[in-house]
Amino acid sequence: MAENPHRSTQESKPPGDVSPWALAGLGMQFFAAILLFVYAGNWMDRRFDTAPLFLLGGVLVGGGGAFYSGYRRLTATQRVPRASSVDHDDSTPKP
C-alpha cells in the first residue's frame, strides 16, 4: 500500500512553530555567552592590570551578541513565506 502523502510528520512543521526546548536553549545561550565573555574580560584585566575595563566590555559584548543572536533566531521562526510574484496592482481599470 502507498503511504498517505498528506500525513503529518515531525519534519513538516508549519512555519513559525517553535519547540519550547529551542526557546529554553536561547536562555542558556545568553547565559553561556555572558559567562564566557566575562571570564575572558576578567582574565585580560588581570593580565594587563586594567581593573574593570575588559570585564565591562565582556559583559557588553557577550550580552549584546547573545541578544542579537537570539533576536535573529526568533525573528527567523516568525517569517512567513510570501506568495510568489502575485501582482496586486488594482490601479488600472478592468474591462
DSSP characters for 31-69? Answer: HHHHHHHHHHHHHHHHHHT-TTHHHHHHHHHHHHHHHHH
Query: What's the distance, Cα to Cα, between the start and end of the chain in Å?
Result: 51
Q: What is the DSSP letter of 5?
A: T
Which pLDDT tens digits describe the chain residue by residue (95 residues)? 555 555 555 555 565 577 888 888 999 999 999 999 999 999 999 999 998 999 999 999 999 999 999 999 989 888 766 655 555 556 666 66
Q: What is the pTM of this model?
A: 0.65
